[in-house]
Amino acid sequence: MVEYTVGELMCVVAARQLEDNKSVAVGTGLPMAAAMLAQQTHAHNLLIAFEAGGVAPQLPTLPISVGDSRTIHRALMATTLVDIMDIISRGYVDYAFLGGAQIDKFGNLNSTMIGTDHSKPTVRFPGSGGANDFASLAWETMIIMDRHSSRRFVKKVDFITSPGYLDGPGSREEWGLFPGTGPSRVITDLCLFDFHPKTKIMRLIKTHPGVTVDDIKKSTGFEFEIAEKVGTNPPPTKEDLRIIHEIIDPNGIIFPKK
């Protein structure tokens, strides 16, 4: 039996959502590791872009930020944030990979604040950075939430930093965003969601090994859709774990050494 951590499982599940011959704009941490793992396994031609300007680098090991010098190692382009946003707005980026502090049933993300008064928040988070642009302009948004709880999966986010489907079907288009765009996957420490094509509400499609649908209901602050047949995410393989620890993150930046 292969032993693995929840973080390793999330990385593998996230990587499996990325297709070959596609492009992805990623943030720091698990999204970056997932994109690297996809490149190393089934999506060798996946193009990775970074907010700070690196396009299609040959990443030697996991960068610690989107501005790390490794994000332009043997890259096709070493440009600027302005050019990256221009590339995304022109429709050349298939996936944006994001996270946040809160998420609601339509995939709206909050990474700005907790509370109702913007001038005096209960908690202040880092804010948008390029996340709003990524979620607004990329064709699909993939989201990683590392702690699935009712405090983070809420009926209404305290602040919309990055738009999902806003108020539901048609809302993105009403606000001037491109038709056919929006969140497509949510990866958590319990399960994998997609979004119902008609209601645009988060839909459970796979649980992690040992997790039940009731476990997920108890940890979610809103009612979500459930697929007709809920599957189980296959665990990481020995080769997945070898790549994670020997190639992607040999220094144990986000995956502690064993």
Residue 254 falls inside a structural domain: no
pLDDT given for residue 172 in this prediction: 97
Q: What is the mean pLDDT of residues 71-99?
A: 93
Residue 151 falls inside a structural domain: yes
pLDDT in tens, 216-235: 999 999 999 999 999 999 99
3-state helix, strand, coil in the chain (%, to 5): 25, 25, 55
Q: Which two tokens stand for residue 153?
A: 């999966």
CA angle 177/178/182 to nearest 5° reads 80
Residue 209 falls inside a structural domain: yes
Residue 257 falls inside a structural domain: no
Residue 130 falls inside a structural domain: yes
Count the domains in the chain. 1
Q: Known catalytic residues? A: 51
**Euclidean distance between CA atoms 157 and 44, whole angstroms:** 36
Structural contact between residues 144 and 187, judged by C-beta atoms closer than 8 angstroms: yes
Cβ of 173: how many Cβ atoms within 10 Å? Answer: 14
**Residue 109: which pLDDT band, with cuts at 50, 70 and 90?**
very high
Q: Which domain holds residue 180?
A: 6-248
Residue 253 falls inside a structural domain: no
Residue 258 falls inside a structural domain: no
Q: What is the mean pLDDT of residues 31-46?
A: 96
CATH number at residue 31: 3.40.1080.10
What is the four-CA torsion angle of 237, 241, 243, 245, rounded to 10 degrees? Answer: 180
Residue 38 falls inside a structural domain: yes
* pLDDT beyond 90 at 126: no
Residue 45, phi then psi, degrees to nearest 5? -100, 20
**Residue 118: which pLDDT band, with cuts at 50, 70 and 90?**
confident
**Euclidean distance between CA atoms 217 and 212, whole angstroms:** 9
